[in-house]
Amino acid sequence: MNLEDLKKIREKAEKDIELRQKKTRIKIVVGMGTSGIAAGAREVLKTFVEEISNRNLLDVVVTQTGEKGLASQEPMIEIFEEGKPVIVYGNIDKKKAQGIVENHIVGGRPVMEYVIEAK
């Protein structure tokens, strides 16, 4: 893989309507303050990045943010979806993150046992 391959990916995406980025439907925000990082937020962020790209979810983005302020429940994530309450999940690990993608992001059903707040 080199930058030439990246050019090909770009050209392919230009032609192929299936590969075009769609309007963002869901935004996943992972808390990355000191306590979140110490509690394993990077692994959680990586899991979301991997799951989203492997499933070719073109309308989902995952980003990082600073301290969430509830150190005891880190790693914490928030799911923003238009017209729906913001769902806050706490104590997330790799396995739970996979479950959230499967059930919530793809299936549309929040995983109630990890939800700490809906706002």
Partner 1 sequence: MMEEICAHIMDITANALSAGAHYIVISIEEDHERNLLATRFNDNGKGMSEEMIRRVTDPFFSTKTGKKVGLGIPLLKGTAETCGGTFSLTSKLGEGVDIFATFALDHPDLPPLGNLKETIIVLIVGNPDVDFSFTYTKDGNKFSLDTREIKDIIGDMPVNHPEVVKFLTKFLDEKTIFV
Q: Which of 26, 32, 77, 101 binds partner 1 (CB under 8 A)?
A: 32
The alpha carbon dihedral of 87, 97, 94, 23 has a sign of: negative
Residue with tokens 């914490």, as numbered in its chain:
76
Q: How far is the CB of 74 from partner 1 (least distance, A)?
A: 13
25 forms part of the interface with partner 1 (CB under 8 A):
no
Report d(CA 43, CA 106) in Å as an integer. 20
The CA dihedral of 44, 56, 6, 1, to the nearest 10 degrees, is 60
59 forms part of the interface with partner 1 (CB under 8 A):
no
Q: Which of 63, 108, 116, 118 binds partner 1 (CB under 8 A)?
A: 63
Q: Which of 15, 26, 46, 84 binds partner 1 (CB under 8 A)?
A: 46
